[in-house]
Amino acid sequence: MYIPNLLNWLPLASLALNPYKHDDPPKELGNLTPYRAAPPFPVEAELPDDCSVDRMHRHGSRGPDSSREEGAINLLLATLEDRRDAIQHAHLPENLRFLKNGYDFDVEEQSLTIIGRQQLFNHGVEFGLKYPNFTTETLLSSDVQRVIDSMYFFAQGRFGHEIENKTLRTVKDTQDLVPAEWSSTYLPPITDRLNRLLPGVELNDTDTHGALYACAYDLAAGKESPWCNVFYAHELEAFEYEMDLNMDASIGYLTYNNYGRVLGSVFVNKLIERFSNASEEAQSLYLEFGHDSTIIAAMAAMDLNKDDPPLSPHGQPLRRKFRTSYQTPFAANMIWERFTCKESFDGPQIRLVLNEETYPLSSCAKTMRDRKYGTCSLEAFTRVNEFSTSISFGGDKWEAVCGAHSEGLYVQGEFLAAYE
pLDDT reported for residue 183: 67
296-326: pLDDT as tens digits: 989 999 999 999 999 998 889 999 999 999 9
Give residue 45's identity as a one-letter amino acid code: A
pTM of the model: 0.86
Is a pLDDT exceeding 90 seen at residue 208? Answer: yes
Is 70 a member of any domain?
A: no
pLDDT reported for residue 396: 87
254-276: pLDDT as tens digits: 998 899 999 899 889 989 998 99
209 is catalytic: no
Is 97 a member of any domain?
A: no
Is 42 a member of any domain?
A: yes
DSSP 287-353: EEE--HHHHHHHHHHTTTT--SSPPBTTB--SS-S--HHHHS-TT-EEEEEEEEESSSSSS-EEEEE
Is 258 a member of any domain?
A: yes
Is 135 a member of any domain?
A: yes
Where on the phi/psi map is residue 357: left (φ > 0), alpha (ψ -120 to 50), or beta?
Answer: beta
Catalytic residue among 57, 59, 123, 291: 59
Q: Percent of the chain at pLDDT above 70? A: 84
Query: Residue 46 gets which letter from DSSP?
Result: S
397 within 8 A of 262, measured Cβ to Cβ? yes
22 is catalytic: no
Q: Percent of the chain at pLDDT above 90? A: 55
pLDDT reported for residue 110: 74
Q: Cα separation of 227 and 232, whole Å?
A: 11
pLDDT, average across residues 334-349: 93
Q: Provide φ and ψ at 325, rounded to 5°.
A: -60, -35
133-191: pLDDT as tens digits: 999 999 988 788 888 899 999 999 999 999 999 999 987 765 455 556 666 789 999 99
How many folded domains does the chain comprise? Answer: 1
Q: Cα separation of 327 and 299, whole Å?
A: 10
Domain that holds residue 390: 3-64+107-179+252-412
Q: Which CATH number fits the domain that encloses residue 173?
A: 3.40.50.1240
Q: Cα separation of 87 and 192, whole Å?
A: 16
Is the peptide bond preceding residue 309 cis, with omega within 30 degrees of 0?
yes
Catalytic residue among 149, 244, 292, 370: 292
Is 207 a member of any domain?
A: no
Is 202 a member of any domain?
A: no
Is 185 a member of any domain?
A: no
